[in-house]
Copies of this chain bind each other. A is one copy, B any other.
Amino acid sequence: MGNTPNVARRSESSRQAIFAAARELCAERGYGRLTIEAIASRAGVSKKTIYRWWPSKGAVILELLDEAATMKAHHPDTGDLAADLRTQLTAVIGMLAPPQTSALAGVIAEALHDPALAHDLRERLIEPRIAEFKNRMRQAQRQGQLSPDADLDVALDLLYGPLYHRLAFHLGMPDPAYLDTLIAHALRSLSMTQ
C-alpha cells in the first residue's frame, strides 16, 4: 500500500497520451528541440509524472519505439521465407516512416553520447529483435528454405541494412517491387555455398 511510485499504478491513458505527444512533437520540431516540459504540456500531465516513469526524453522515445515494434513487427512463419520477410520488412518500413522517423534518428544520435541510453537501446530495442530474426531464419534452415551454412549475421546486414542506409541519406524507402528485389538478392546470396 502506501504512496510508493509503482509501475503498476501507471495510468495507461496517461502513458499513451505521453507517447502520442512525444511522437507528434518529435515529428514537428525534431528530437533535438523536444523537451519533457513540452511533452507534459501537450499530454496534459505534470513533468513530475513523466520523470516518475522515465529518467529522460530518450527513455520516453525508446519505450515508445519498443512498444510500436512489439505491436507491429513480428516475424510470421507461414513456411514461405521470402513472403514472411516481405511482411516483416514492410512493417519495419512502416515504423521508420513519419512520425517515428525523427524519434528513431534522434535517439540513435543521442545514444552515441549517453551510455545508459545506448545500453537500453541495445538491450530493449535491438537485441531482442535480432534474436527474433535469427530464430525465424533458423526455422527456415530446419524447413530447408535456407542453406544450413547461411551466415545469419550477413542475412541481417543484407536484409535490414538497406532500410537504414536509405533512411539516413533520404533515398526513400523501398516500394513493394523493389523490396522483393532486395529480398531475392539477399536470399540468393545466402543460399550459395561460400
Q: A residues within 8 Å of B by Cβ?
A: 29-33, 101-102, 105-106, 108-113, 118, 121-122, 126, 151, 153-154, 156-158, 160-166, 168-171, 178, 181-182, 184-186, 188-190, 192, 194
Q: Which residue in B109, B126, B164, B178 is a CB contact (below 8 Å) of A32? A: B109
A168-B125 Cα distance, complex, nearest whole Å: 12
Contact between A112 and B30 (Cβ–Cβ < 8 Å)?
yes
Residue of B nearest to A153 (CB): B178
How many copies, total?
Answer: 2
Contact between A32 and B157 (Cβ–Cβ < 8 Å)?
no
Question: Can you list 6 pairs linking A and B with CB atoms under 8 Å apart?
Answer: A105-B105, A154-B185, A158-B162, A158-B185, A186-B189, A188-B192
Contact between A166 and B170 (Cβ–Cβ < 8 Å)?
no
A6-B62 Cα distance, complex, nearest whole Å: 45
The residues of B that contact A164 with a CB separation of less than 8 Å are 161, 164-165, 168-169
Residue of B nearest to A122 (CB): B170
A109-B30 Cα distance, complex, nearest whole Å: 8
With A108-B105, A110-B32, A189-B185 already in contact, the answer to whether A157 and B165 are too (CB < 8 A) is yes
Which of A154, A160, A171, A189 has the most chain B CB within a 10 Å cutoff?
A: A189
The residues of B that contact A109 with a CB separation of less than 8 Å are 30-32, 102, 105-106, 108-109
Closest chain-B Cβ to A27's Cβ sits at a distance in Å of 9
A157-B167 Cα distance, complex, nearest whole Å: 11
Closest chain-B Cβ to A46's Cβ sits at a distance in Å of 25
Contact between A113 and B154 (Cβ–Cβ < 8 Å)?
no
The residues of B that contact A157 with a CB separation of less than 8 Å are 161-162, 165-166, 182
